[in-house]
Amino acid sequence: MPSPVGHSLIGLTLGVAFLVARRRTEGWHKWLGENRGSLLTTVIAANACDLDYLPGLLIGAPNSMHRWLGHTALWAALAGIIIWLLWRRLAPRLPRGALPVLLAVALSHIVADYFDEDTRAPFGILALWPFYDGFLISAHPIFLSLQKTSLADVVSWHNVRAVTQEALLTLPALLVVVFYKLRPIRHDVAPTKPA
């Protein structure tokens, strides 16, 4: 499965593309401050499916519940709605289209994990449960599977390579949308009234 880096970059790309208004700002700090709600919620939504590590962590076996019910489109959609409800409660005003964008971001996790080179049985994810109870995995993976059996695995060169590959695949799209949103807007001269 891609790491939080890959999922977050995909989520941020969708968040910046559809929740952030295109306008000129004086600097990065101001831009980040103005859009922190959109950026933070998209990162949370993009990683919500991996909350299924938590029950396993409590019993000392992090992978035991991972990639099952927490990796269904149904849970991703529910997570998107819950995050939207919490955001609506905490923020005075949400950007237009916040709910569909959060749903798309949460579902992007399922799509990204589908394209993971899963090396551990059961291969793939229960993406379409309860409508289809088989594990789904792409025949053409684009993300390397992370090693996470032990702490030494987590900081292994294999994982550094996997995260670098994720960044190379997902960062360019984010840079393009950020560049577009921050590009100076050309102000046309207001039309003059006919005499």
Helix 4-19 to helix 98-114 angle (10° resolution) is 150
Of 35 and 52, CB closest to Zn ion: 52
Does 118 help bind Zn ion (rule: CB under 5 A)? no
Among 75, 108, 113, 166, binds Zn ion (CB under 5 A): 113
Does 52 help bind Zn ion (rule: CB under 5 A)? no
Closest CA to 79 of 50, 51, 48, 54: 48
Of 49 and 177, CB closest to Zn ion: 49
Among 14, 18, 41, 50, binds Zn ion (CB under 5 A): 50
CB of 31 to Zn ion, least distance (A): 29
Does 1 help bind Zn ion (rule: CB under 5 A)? yes
147 burial type by CB count under 10 A (0-12 exposed, 13-18 middle, 19+ buried) = middle
Chain residues binding Zn ion by CB under 5 A are 1, 49-50, 113
